[in-house]
Amino acid sequence: MADKKNYDELERIMNQLADSVLELSDAAILAEVTATGADPQEKAERTRFVLRRSSKALEAVNKRLWNLGHSLNPKGRWHEERGYSNSCRDCGLSISFTTATNEIWGNALVGPCPESAQHAIRKREASGK
């Protein structure tokens, strides 16, 4: 429970930091980056790269789960040592992934969601009932 509390506090701080950056003007951000001696274009490219990689990793997780009839619980995400974890909102099976390596693992990958209407229909069609 302490880990969850620490994560919630860290998430709150990160959200506040993100909000403070969003409040800055482009000129203020450029001035701050330039003042550190960094190349603003290089920093912008690095930021885009990290965000795209993370977005693609999450998209891959969602696509793979959707193909199995699972759907992520929108309020169930939590951070772990190796990455992020969640569970299917219908059946509760777990899924974990890391954006650093695009690795995906968990019980939800074993097979179709037993609670998904999408796969229940396919089972009936396959059996002819």
**Mean pLDDT over the full length of the chain:** 80
Torsion angles phi and psi, residue 116, rounded to 5: -80, 130
Whole-number pLDDT of residue 124: 46
Encode pLDDT of 68-98 as tens digits.
999 887 777 777 777 888 889 889 999 988 8
Sign (positive or negative) of CA dihedral 122, 125, 126, 127 = positive
Whole-number pLDDT of residue 4: 59
pLDDT reading at 99 higher than 90: no
pLDDT reading at 129 higher than 70: no
